[in-house]
Amino acid sequence: MNKTFLVIGAVAVGLFLFGLSNANGDLGSFGITIMSGLFQAMLLFLVASGLSIVFGLMDVLNFAQGSFFMIGAYVAYAVHHSPQLIAAIPNADIRFIIALLSAVFVGGVLGVFFERALLRPLYARPIFQIVMTFGVALVIGELIKVVWTPTPYSWTAMFTARSGFFTLFEQQFSTYRLFVIGAGFLLIIGIGLLLQRTRIGIIIRAGVEDSQMVEALGINVRAVFTLVFTLGCAVAALGGAVAAPFLGASTGLANQFLLSAIAIVVLGGLGSYGGTAIASILVGVSVAVIQDWSASPGVNAPVWASLTPMILLVLILLIRPSGLFGKEN
């Protein structure tokens, strides 16, 4: 275990030094890099946490998790920019909160339907469950193209947090990013407490260990499956909604976030909640640092930023086949 923390520490220090040297010691631009890295990390965590817990509990790797992120982004965009709602509620901040809530709601409802109608008949055939989530991801992507056309949307209607800035090291930082990072950390702690301190959390953790045993103790594990799956989808949709003011809504979001989130979950060790949280931050910050480096005039190869999560994943899987905090067989 100590070795794992050593590896994490080494990577963190390496990233810090690399990022700082790349910014030529300019604390302001380095701060922006770290900030956007943490912002990215929180979005990734929102997708990856559901993926990780669902896999630990149900042995289903949900390839449609990224699609729920995308749905969240589209719903939040549509609600926040709908002319009727703008007329009804002129206050942009309240409209944004409504947008977030509706994204969570839509994600949750679709999640319940997905688990009950499509995954439940397949528990006897685990291979087909994976194939099924793959198919659902395809259908969601195509449905979004039918409903919203393939053209990407960029967020135009501003609200207080999104348009605000504060100054540090003579650089302007967006308050919205700070807000998301703060809310993300709160969510990490909140879900952690839910898992550690509540009765439902105990059932979930016991289910991750051995779901048959939990069922034998008289607990309706299938109901817990549905609950956790729904929560995972809702949290992913929340992630999309939170990301939309910065990233807009586009059909590329699903794959981009799914692949990074899978990389994170495997990196952290499948089914390990803390591992997922740490790996999210690791991947988010590395992507931001590499992005900074690859966009600098001397290098100019933006492809490296998109490849970073994959390369990290492949390397870690080769060294530790069950991830940082995964159990060795």
Partner 1 sequence: MAFWRKTLQTNAGLLIILLLLILLPHIIGLLTGSDPFATRGAAVSWQGTIIEIYILAIFTISYNLLFGFSGVISFGHALFFGMGGYILGLALEYTELTPDMGIIVGILGAVVICGVLGFLIGLASLRLRGVYFTVFTLAIAESFYIFWGRLPLTKGEDGFTLTTLPTWLNPIADRITFYYIVMVIFVLTFLFIRRLMFSPTGAVLLAIRENEERAKTIGYNTLYFKLMAFTVAAMIAALAGVLQVVFNKKVGPELLSVGYTIDPLLMTIIGGAGTFTGPVIGATTLHLLDRTLRDRVITFTPDFALDIGKSWMLISGFIFIIVVIVFPYGIVGTWNRWRAKRRPPITVSSGTQAPIAEKQSG
At 136, list the tokens. Answer: 């659902």
Using CB under 8 A as the binding rule, the residues of this chain from 63 to 92 that contact partner 1 are: 63
Using CB under 8 A as the binding rule, the residues of this chain from 289 to 318 that contact partner 1 are: 302-303, 306-307, 310-311, 313-314, 317-318
CA distance 84 to 210: 50
Torsion angles phi and psi, residue 170, rounded to 5: 60, 25
Q: Does 125 bind partner 1 (CB under 8 A)?
A: yes
Q: Does 47 bind partner 1 (CB under 8 A)?
A: no
Q: Smallest distance, Å, CB 130 to partner 1?
A: 6
CA distance 240 to 247: 9
Q: Does 55 bind partner 1 (CB under 8 A)?
A: yes
Q: Does 131 bind partner 1 (CB under 8 A)?
A: yes
The answer to whether 104 and 238 are in contact (CB under 8 A) is yes
Contact characters 240-259, partner 1, x per CB under 8 A:
---------------x---x
Instruction: Using alpha carbons, select from 57, 61, 51, 53 the residue that is nearest to residue 221.
Output: 57
Give helix 253-268 / helix 126-148 axis angle, nearest 10°. Answer: 150
At 252, list the tokens. Answer: 């590329």
Query: According to CB under 8 A, which one of 20, 98, 122, 195 is a site residue for partner 1?
Result: 122
174 or 250, CB closer to partner 1?
A: 250
Report DSSP letters for 34-56, one per residue: HHHHHHHHHHHHHHHHHHHHHHH
Collapse the DSSP code of 122 into the 3-class scheme (helix H, G, I; strand E, B; otherwise coil) and give the result.
helix
Torsion angles phi and psi, residue 217, rounded to 5: -80, 5
Q: Does 262 bind partner 1 (CB under 8 A)?
A: yes
Q: Considering only 128-136, 164-172, 184-192, 216-224, which stretch makes contact with partner 1 by CB under 8 A?
A: 128-136
Q: Does 106 bind partner 1 (CB under 8 A)?
A: no
The answer to whether 134 and 110 are in contact (CB under 8 A) is no
59 or 215, CB closer to partner 1?
A: 59
Q: Smallest distance, Å, CB 92 to partner 1?
A: 32
- Give the burial class of 33: count Cβ atoms within 10 A of its Cβ; 0-12 exposed, 13-18 middle, 19 or more buried: buried
The answer to whether 130 and 60 are in contact (CB under 8 A) is yes
Q: Smallest distance, Å, CB 309 to partner 1?
A: 8
Q: Smallest distance, Å, CB 78 to partner 1?
A: 19
Q: Considering only 115-123, 185-193, 216-224, 279-287, which stretch makes contact with partner 1 by CB under 8 A?
A: 115-123
Q: Does 53 bind partner 1 (CB under 8 A)?
A: no
At 1, list the tokens. Answer: 């275990």
CA distance 129 to 109: 19
174 or 294, CB closer to partner 1?
A: 294
Beta bridge partners of 241: none
Using CB under 8 A as the binding rule, the residues of this chain from 133 to 172 that contact partner 1 are: 134-136, 138-139, 142-143, 145-146
Instruction: Using alpha carbons, select from 283, 284, 247, 292 the residue that is nearest to residue 30.
Output: 292
Q: Smallest distance, Å, CB 122 to partner 1?
A: 7
Per rule CB under 8 A, count of chain residues that contact partner 1: 40
Contacts to partner 1 by CB under 8 A: 55, 59, 61, 63, 118, 121-122, 125, 127-128, 130-132, 134-136, 138-139, 142-143, 145-146, 255, 259, 262-263, 266, 270, 302-303, 306-307, 310-311, 313-314, 317-318, 321-322
